[in-house]
Structure 1
Amino acid sequence: MFVSRRSNWSNAGTVLALALALAFTGCKGDDDDEDDPKCEGGTGSPTTVSGKVTYDFVPATYSTTTKGGTLAFAQASERPVRSAVVQVRQGSNVLATGSTDEQGNYQLNYTPSTCGTVTVVALAKTTNPPIQVEDNTDKDAIWAIGDTITATTTTKNLHATHGWTGTTYTASQRTAAPFAILDSMYTASKAFMAVRTVTFPPLKVNWSPNNVPQSGDKATGQISTSHYSFQENEIYILGRVGVDTDEYDSHVIVHEWGHYFESNLSRADSPGGPHSTGDVLDPRLAFGEGYGNGLAAMLLPESMYVDTLWGSTTSGPPLAFGFDAETPPTPTDDPSPSVFSESSVMRILYDLYDSGANEGYDTVALGLGPIYDVLVGPQKTTEGMTTLGSFITGLKSQAGVNASAVDALLAHYNVGAITSPYGDGDTQLRAMYVAVPNTYPYNNNITLRGGEEANKQQQNRYFAFSGTGRTMNISVSNATYDVDIEVYKRGELVASSYKETPGTESVSLPTQSDTPYVLVVTGYSTVNTNYTVSVSITSP
């Protein structure tokens, strides 16, 4: 069913933005080639229509020298819409379905009935990999562009425009946004598909001009920020003019796609939450965010990360901020390089990927293949939490990887020669893990420090222990500040307690004998001081 974005859909010669109520399996309620009951005419002649589908791509630019950037509309280029679903429709009937090639070309053969308007529609949807861009503020309808054709039309090109007037967008002509998002994610997917055989699960992406950086009802556009939702397995992208539009911020798009990849093909133990350059993060979060930025630089491929937004200026093109995944600025944006820094993780991963021809400390050039192998292999199954430690340990186990060269690279970022997922070889990461002896009862006191968000390094500690094959009872306590506990078995959350009040948190869980578990203790003190947390583990 068509849901027109403009009232003059039937006017010939006009390319329109649409939202189509389609699922991955096809149009809801439609059977291909079934006659529209409202059309009682006969059958027309077999016809072929071909053409090219393109969209306006606007580069997001940033200079580390001038500390400025923007969306460069003057540098906009016409790009092909690749591997997108194209349909010929008559009324509610789909007469033919195909897809564009890598140059955006399509050709469809169809036989219309003798009454009813015929249209060619290009959907913001690919089939391999299966990605579709929907409007979360319009009942998840798929974005598309389309135009009418007649029986004598043999060529029909479709072009999605950026719609920028010089000061703002013309809403009805802002049709390129969903195709730009789709193409960035297609680029990311194809980069991995070029080096490995990959089957990607379906991905739904939500973009709307109503999407704003405000928490609330996503159906009205209150999506908080561009993000991947682990709960929904969907991506949301900002789109409000004068506030924040991310459709041309390719690194932002691929960063969020990277979290989809983690969730579906690899593994992510990150606690999420606020973070920024220079923070000393929980190493799970530092890896997840550094990985997302580093992966975007690899897959696009472009080392300069750019994010545009309007801020206090709501007219004219947006401003931008950014950073280089290859080269830090002067003064540095990474004041505390370590496994707890997302900037360090980003540049380590990018250096592992690229050639590093001008960097004496970087003699590693693995390309995408080994990085993919680690993400879907050792990183996914690690006994520890997903940190730089687990990734490097898995990387060193890959054939042909020079461990000494990797260690030299790590040293440049103040990271030790990691040899285990628990951080052995790096003093700082190893201190995050407390090794629990396999004798119970076990009692210990640890020191956390408040004054930072709960996703920072100083508010977290990990306990590595083995299951006994019996029920294990775990409790942590502090009389003044709230603490939470989570228990993981190779990334699977198997027990947790969140009371949100000071005192004792406790869980009981059945365990498998000699199976590794990790207890994560997280504190929530807002006072910038050390505090002691008591930990008890028993196994009757």
Structure 2
Amino acid sequence: MLLLKLFLPFLLAVAITACGGGGGGSDPVSSEPPASSGDPGSALLLQGGFSAVDTPSNNQSLTSCLATTAVAGNSTLTGRVYYQRVPLNAFGLDYSAVAQLPMRGLVVEAVDASGGDCSERVLATTLSNGNGEYGLNVPENQAVCVQVRAQLYRDGANGGASWNIQITDNTNGNAPYYLLDATVATPADQPERDLLAAAGVEPGSSNYTQPRAAASFAILDTLCEAINTMISVDSDIELPVLAVRWSELNNTAEIENGNSIEQGDIGGSFYRQQLFTRGAEIISSTHEIFLLGDEDSNTDEYDPHVITHEFGHYLTASFARFDAIGGEHAIGDHLDLRLAFEEGWADAVSGITLDNAAAALVDDPAIYRNSFGENQSRASRFPLQARGRSVAGWYSEASVASIIYNLFDSSNDSVDDISLGFAPIFNVLRSSAYQSSDSVVSLYTFVNRLKQQRPEDIAIDALVADQDTETVIDDFGSDEDVSNNDIFGGQDVAAVYTELALNTSVEVCSNNQYGNVNKLSVSQFLILDADINKNYRFEIRPVTGVDGGGRAVAFVYKRGELLTSQQAVADGSALVFSTALQGRHIVTLAHTDYLAGEDDLVGRRCFSVLVE
């Protein structure tokens, strides 16, 4: 008898602070600084998750979740573990073509059943190989049950890469998912035991009629491909613990008005990093991906691109620099350049990590797909190579995705005359030069740092030009010419950055012509060179007239670190503050209501900025 079960272990005391996370219509990391959550012994607890893993018997030999290393010869209990996958095609999920695939790289355990029932006492632990095969060494006459954790795991303490990715239920205290064979038997009586996680689809059905036991294992199988991509870049990479929160209850209701993540109201699939800080020091952090599971609305367990898109955000937060701000967005929006880069990067990562996946997992890695609707019978899709879009430029998620994916892929045509693979791309993001850039992270930062590391300037410039962006000469887009973009004629977009000269007023305007919060021109970017280490006084005043009356909110950054944020007390009032600075800084300035999404009336609010 096979059961899908949830264990709810003891609470783990982990102090945290919340920052948003995002992808594909989600909420990326906030520009707000991590606020201290108090002492690590406070009541803030990260609940649920798997207990610690006993070292798997084949931990060292399985250097990848794809490895097909043979089962150990001394195994007394062997078998294969499978799950049923509902394939995603151009029209949605295809319930007529359910496939049976191996569970790769998962923790398999024999648990004591000497009392006639399955207990929680683990007797032996191993990992399934790339064929789903496992082998456990248990005494011949020991009565056991067999269970598979919804957990990809490898301990790299003795060499090689390490990872720990686990699927838990956010609507049940983050309880972890297991697949349990509750048959009580000894290896002597039953030496071979196969386990199958069923999709919950009966023959001839176009929807789920049984428990969806396969869902969590389908998510992990997709992430196995992502892990393998990272190993190809760095065979000793240490991936931080990642908790994937999935539930059949996870829906698109926004996290507001009494709704909560604990009820499944997640708004959309997204990534979140939570930090615990003491002063400026980060004591600990967590990484979480939340995925939709609401049947007949939007489910993501069989959407490989959605899952690996969120994995792309996890990579940014773990190894690079996350400057993007949150809020809703769509593929055709004119975005804040920080968000355009982060979302385009995650889109590209989705195709890159699936590039070598079998057709049973994804039939075309270069086409981003997301199933939704009644019976999951619809799919949104767009090509990652994306050329000729109506919205193209440094503010376009699709443009960034196209540039990065074409830098990676081996299929070259038209203006695409370069195939770098993933390593040079990922190495730019985790380089000290990129992470310590004075700019906010954007397409310019990435391309400029890539060109400094690679000799293929002409080929890189061609991809950038094909997306209506000027040749990149620095991290700031200094040579950008908006006359070549679809934003030509728009206000407050002529310069990517505005120079702030000391003791000289400059006027900039926050404009919601493309939308609020995270759209292009809501936030204006100013460069301030503070050559002397001292307190600098900022005076930001709304202008008079039709474009006046705004309420300024300003953020001051140094190399991606937020030093201070300040907000005027009321519409029309001046914002005056002082802060100690030295070196090059970026100041972002916006009208509070536009940035908060509280004013849908299209307009502009202008401010004079003086620093002395």
Report the counterpart of residue 181 of structure 1 in structure 2: 219
- 1:453 pairs with 2:475: no
Deviation, structure 1 residue 124: 0.9
Determine if contact 2:478/2:496 at 8 Å carries over to the other structure: no
Structure 1 29/160 Cα, relative in aligned 2: closer, same or farther at 3 Å?
A: closer
Code of the residue aligned with 2:100 in structure 1: it is E
Report the counterpart of residue 66 of structure 1 in structure 2: none
Counterparts of 1:377-388 in structure 2, within 5 Å, are 377=431, 378-388=433-443
Report the counterpart of residue 321 of structure 1 in structure 2: 380
Structure 1 52/506 Cα, relative in aligned 2: closer, same or farther at 3 Å?
A: farther
Determine if contact 2:510/2:589 at 8 Å carries over to the other structure: no
Report the counterpart of residue 346 of structure 1 in structure 2: 401
Report the counterpart of residue 529 of structure 2 in structure 1: 466
For residues 35-67 of structure 1, the C-alpha deviation after alignment (integer angstroms, 9 at most, x for no partner) is: xxxxxxxxxxx98211111112222222xxxxx
For residues 7-49 of structure 1, the C-alpha deviation after alignment (integer angstroms, 9 at most, x for no partner) is: xxxxxxx1111123469999659999xxxxxxxxxxxxx9821
For residues 201-242 of structure 1, the C-alpha deviation after alignment (integer angstroms, 9 at most, x for no partner) is: 110110011111112211111111110013353110011112
Partner of residue 418 from structure 1, selected from 461, 469, 472 = 472
Deviation, structure 1 residue 483: 3.0
Report the counterpart of residue 150 of structure 1 in structure 2: 185
Counterparts of 1:167-178 in structure 2, within 5 Å, are 167-172=206-211, 174-178=212-216
Structure 1 387/47 Cα, relative in aligned 2: closer, same or farther at 3 Å?
A: closer
- CA distance in structure 1 between the partners assigned to 2:139 and 2:9 by the alignment: 22
Code of the residue aligned with 1:247 in structure 2: it is E
Counterparts of 1:117-266 in structure 2, within 5 Å, are 118-128=144-154, 129-147=163-181, 148-151=183-186, 152-165=189-202, 166-172=205-211, 174-197=212-235, 198-214=237-253, 215=255, 216-231=259-274, 233-266=287-320
SS class of match (1:233): strand
Report the counterpart of residue 96 of structure 1 in structure 2: 124
Code of the residue aligned with 1:473 in structure 2: it is R
Report the counterpart of residue 53 of structure 1 in structure 2: 81
- CA distance in structure 1 between the partners assigned to 2:379 and 2:475 by the alignment: 37
Deviation, structure 1 residue 71: 0.4
Structure 1 475/237 Cα, relative in aligned 2: closer, same or farther at 3 Å?
A: farther
Code of the residue aligned with 2:138 in structure 1: it is Y
- 1:17 pairs with 2:4: yes
For residues 313-347 of structure 1, the C-alpha deviation after alignment (integer angstroms, 9 at most, x for no partner) is: x3x3431111111245xxx6x21211011111111
- 1:76 pairs with 2:89: no
Structure 1 47/405 Cα, relative in aligned 2: closer, same or farther at 3 Å?
A: closer
Structure 1 133/475 Cα, relative in aligned 2: closer, same or farther at 3 Å?
A: farther
Structure 1 497/107 Cα, relative in aligned 2: closer, same or farther at 3 Å?
A: same
Structure 1 18/339 Cα, relative in aligned 2: closer, same or farther at 3 Å?
A: same
Query: Quick check: 424-433 or 197-206, which moved more?
Result: 424-433
For residues 360-408 of structure 1, the C-alpha deviation after alignment (integer angstroms, 9 at most, x for no partner) is: 2111111101011111114322221111000001110114x31111111
- 1:531 pairs with 2:605: yes
Figure out how many residues of one structure are paired with residues of the other and give that number: 489
Counterparts of 1:476-491 in structure 2, within 5 Å, are 476-478=540-542, 480-491=549-560
Code of the residue aligned with 1:155 in structure 2: it is E
- CA distance in structure 2 between the partners assigned to 1:522 and 1:528 by the alignment: 14
- CA distance in structure 2 between the partners assigned to 1:100 and 1:19 by the alignment: 20
Report the counterpart of residue 363 of structure 1 in structure 2: 417
Structure 1 497/171 Cα, relative in aligned 2: closer, same or farther at 3 Å?
A: farther
- CA distance in structure 2 between the partners assigned to 1:122 and 1:265 by the alignment: 30
- CA distance in structure 2 between the partners assigned to 1:26 and 1:385 by the alignment: 35
Q: Which has the higher contact order (CA 8 A, sep 6+)?
A: 2
Deviation, structure 1 residue 186: 2.1
SS class of match (1:485): strand
Code of the residue aligned with 2:329 in structure 1: it is H
- CA distance in structure 2 between the partners assigned to 1:290 and 1:27 by the alignment: 33
Structure 1 356/118 Cα, relative in aligned 2: closer, same or farther at 3 Å?
A: closer
Code of the residue aligned with 1:458 in structure 2: it is S
- The TM-score normalised by the length of structure 1 is 0.85
Determine if contact 1:362/1:408 at 8 Å carries over to the other structure: yes
Structure 1 390/22 Cα, relative in aligned 2: closer, same or farther at 3 Å?
A: farther
Deviation, structure 1 residue 482: 3.1
Counterparts of 1:32-51 in structure 2, within 5 Å, are 48-51=76-79
- CA distance in structure 2 between the partners assigned to 1:393 and 1:276 by the alignment: 26
Deviation, structure 1 residue 475: 4.0
SS class of match (2:606): strand
Structure 1 177/27 Cα, relative in aligned 2: closer, same or farther at 3 Å?
A: closer
**5+ residue gaps, structure 1:** 1-13, 33-45, 63-68
For residues 83-115 of structure 1, the C-alpha deviation after alignment (integer angstroms, 9 at most, x for no partner) is: 11111112131111111112211111124896x
SS class of match (2:76): strand
Deviation, structure 1 residue 456: 1.1
Determine if contact 1:424/1:430 at 8 Å carries over to the other structure: no
- CA distance in structure 1 between the partners assigned to 2:520 and 2:49 by the alignment: 47
Determine if contact 1:95/1:111 at 8 Å carries over to the other structure: no
Code of the residue aligned with 1:394 in structure 2: it is R
Deviation, structure 1 residue 308: 0.9
Deviation, structure 1 residue 167: 3.7
- The TM-score normalised by the length of structure 2 is 0.75
Report the counterpart of residue 565 of structure 2 in structure 1: 496
Determine if contact 2:75/2:135 at 8 Å carries over to the other structure: no
SS class of match (1:110): coil
SS class of match (1:348): helix
Deviation, structure 1 residue 353: 0.9
Code of the residue aligned with 2:507 in structure 1: it is N
Partner of residue 521 from structure 1, selected from 575, 579, 589 = 589
Determine if contact 1:496/1:507 at 8 Å carries over to the other structure: no
**5+ residue gaps, structure 2:** 13-47, 56-73, 113-118, 155-162, 275-285, 356-364, 483-492, 543-547
Structure 1 28/48 Cα, relative in aligned 2: closer, same or farther at 3 Å?
A: same
> Pairwise CA RMSD of aligned residues?
2.5
Among all aligned residue pairs of Structure 1 and Structure 2, give the percentage whose two residues are the same amino acid: 28
- CA distance in structure 2 between the partners assigned to 1:56 and 1:398 by the alignment: 44
